[in-house]
Structure 1
């Protein structure tokens, strides 16, 4: 951005003020915002605009009515107010490094097409991409239903490996297949084959968006989710449109934009309800996403109503239901763990703990990301209940699946638990947890405050 548009730097006297240093260390943003106002002349409305928060949210924080703990929000505050990363327990921010030395990936602006990754130089023994294209034209055969089924099987395999190890390493293959299928759409084919290709392309675009979402690269994720929406609409697949909107709703929840999350999931429900083939499992999953949005907004009654609807719909599932493949993950343990998380977002730890714990006992052990993610949720819930020993044991058990999957979302939840553990950091059980953390996840632990 032009220099004139860059956020102004905070005065050195404020950044070296012991009160500011301590407030940043414990992430007391009520104190941070007050100090920024009184000592830097940055008023709440300006704080809201620079940190992408609503003015009412900033007012609630200053009044002590709300705490901000989402990693994405903490990073927006650091970048918007120009607070150096180390003061908030974050990695060095991009703007702290002279531009000539920056070598990290930059996200595309919202709404733009992600830039393709540079192609690797092909070995001399392999033909170039132009020759590949010529050969493909010469040997291409007509597609059949079996070909579409092969594409769907590969997508299911991508999802399975994504759950086990994360999607970062898979992304080049997924994007390559997406572009190949989009290329096939340019040719004239029977409508049944063409619609099938649109559905496959939509799911590949959604999967790509998901891998970026899991990496917390939100602009890229949204670009691919938008592409998935367009492809699903071309196919006339309202259920797929609903699913993509539900993914975007979940991302908005992570970005602490609950009003956007609620609008997106409401649109998803409208799409699903307008489709005669929508199954109870689909409607149940969407109701749980609605519960997440209401819980993040603090709407207790609406959250409970959405949870009740999710369980009511789930109770209507029958063996012969023709569920889309993308919703089969939403089984009873997933319903229960999401119910616990929704209660946890409302601050009802007593209700949340047994639900999350029971679901964890029944969850597929091959789903490393899900187990790590839900275990850190349980550990934070137990810590809120004052169960320090249990919380540290749960978090320690989560480290092994967390070490098996590359997921910034999981790392973010680990950091949030670590920060919440701060008052107990010298207790023997907390020291044992940290020793195991540094043994299994040194890159993560290295970015945490000791």
Structure 2
């Protein structure tokens, strides 16, 4: 049974049905109630409760013996049955905008740290600290292998479900490795530990970035840079700087984005044996920065360099594990996104659509993320029906991941849809969205 504060939505097919549209337009309450009963299975007694009417009054209306003309009653019908205001000639109802999509996103203030309560069955942290002093752990090469395997697994699960739930485990491993670094160990093993620490710090930064917690993300990205610098891993430093460049585009800092990616390219060129795949990825990050700055010539030049480097890739290249995600599909979709940022929607649309068809079905976040980019691009081209269908298809994968970044792109599409709110396809999309939005924005900061 639906909660009184959040009535069940009417089916999108009913809200967009010609008979329903006509009945609402002329405020034919009898026809509206009959359609709600036959097509949504909401019977007169429930209609009465939802619209704050008596059952006898609803029965009289449906029998044609009474009309409902008072504005406050029309408003109660709109709110009780969740009929968009414009269909009944009313202003947009407050409930039509899902709570999680109202206003703009603000990064929450870092909460004051408090000592977590410990279940009675578990020892306190002070006991753990004392017992750690008696540990005789002797890490060896297999320890490094296990840690690297964990990192690969974390990245896979991050793609599938988002990184929010992974963060405690990742941070725990990072602090474990940091403790190991405090002890004297063979140089080769110590170098491996620094590499693992850099990977874990970057992954932690990424989970904060995906949650749009930018201050925390930069802190961990900086920590990753420091670990990588200890072992002079310039390729990995380039990777971290590229992440920071991407974050700067989200923070409306295109100048910073360009500075970070240029520094990343300098590090990559100074490294021994940097592979073409790495250079191609960095060139597309440069294209993002130029596109955000609105520089057409520089954007296209960076894209051309990305493709030139990509064509040089060989199967035998010793690509670092962190860049293997950058394949042809990613090259194509990032090109489309860069061109979309530049305002060249007609060129961007087929590229993003092609990449979305190729996307690995397991990468739920990527599918949702790229689908919202495609929907916004289609909307900018005036393709309303296609845009709403693309966005509707994206809602299911978006609801399966915890990613404020994805939710942010949904908000942007939703805001851009405002001029078309009364169109049937937009009504259908909003109806589907309101059913799923608690899952899409659960845990999201409120404005």
State the TM-score, normalizing by the size of structure 1.
0.73
Shift of residue 314 of structure 1? 0.8
- Report the aligned-residue RMSD: 2.1
Native 8 Å contact 1:379 1:394 kept in 2: yes
In structure 2, the residue matched to 1:408 is: 404
Structure 1 unmatched runs, 5+: 1-85, 95-104, 109-114
Structure 1 runs of 4+ with >4 Å offset:
91-94, 443-447
Name which of 92, 104, 109 aligns with 1:106. Answer: 109
Give the alignment partner of residue 90 of structure 1, picking from 79, 103, 120: 103
Indicate the residue corresponding to 2:353 in structure 1.
Answer: 357
Corresponding residue number in structure 2 for 1:230: 226
The match for 1:348 among 344, 353, 372 is 344
1:316 to 312, 317, 329: 312
Candidates 265, 268, 278, aligned match of 1:269: 265
Deviating more after overlay: 438-447 vs 167-176: 438-447
2:367 matched residue in structure 1? 371
Aligned residue for 1:200, secondary structure, equals helix
1:333 aligns with 2:346: no
Are residues 1:153 and 2:159 paired?
Answer: no
Paired with 1:177 and 1:106, the residues of 2 have a C-alpha distance of 25
> Partner of 1:208 in structure 2?
204
With normalisation by structure 2, the TM-score equals: 0.74
Q: Which residue of 2 aligns with 1:112?
A: none
Summarize deviations over 1:320-352 as a string: whole Å, max 9, x none: 111111111111100000000011011101110
Task: For 1:343 and 1:387, locate their aligned partners in 2 and report how far apart those are by CA, in whole Å.
Answer: 18
Going from structure 1 to structure 2, the CA distance change for 1:139 and 1:249 (only over 3 Å counts) comes to same
Q: Unaligned stretches of 5+ in structure 2?
A: 1-98
Question: Are the structure 2 counterparts of residues 445 and 240 from structure 1 closer, same or farther at C-alpha, using a change threshold of 3 Å?
Answer: closer
Query: Are the equivalent residues in 2 in contact too, given 1:155–1:204 (CA < 8 A)?
Result: yes
CA contact (8 A) 2:148 2:196 kept: yes
Counterparts of 1:424 and 1:382, CA distance in 2: 13
Looking at structure 1, the residues matched to 104 and 145 of structure 2 have their Cα atoms a distance apart, in angstroms, of 44
Q: Identify the residue that residue 171 of structure 1 maps to in structure 2.
A: 167
- CA shift at 1:122, angstroms? 2.8
Instruction: Check 1:332–1:142 CA distance in 2 against 1; reply closer, same or farther (3 A cut).
Output: same
Distance 1:366 1:444 in 2: 18
Q: 1:387 aligns with which of 377, 383, 386?
A: 383
Report the CA distance shift for 1:392/1:358 in structure 2 as closer, same or farther (over 3 A).
same
Separation (CA, whole Å) in 1 of partners of 2:325 and 2:156: 10
1:404 and 1:192, CA in 2 relative to 1: closer, same or farther beyond 3 A? same
Identify the structure with bigger relative contact order (alpha carbons < 8 Å, sequence gap 6+). Answer: 2
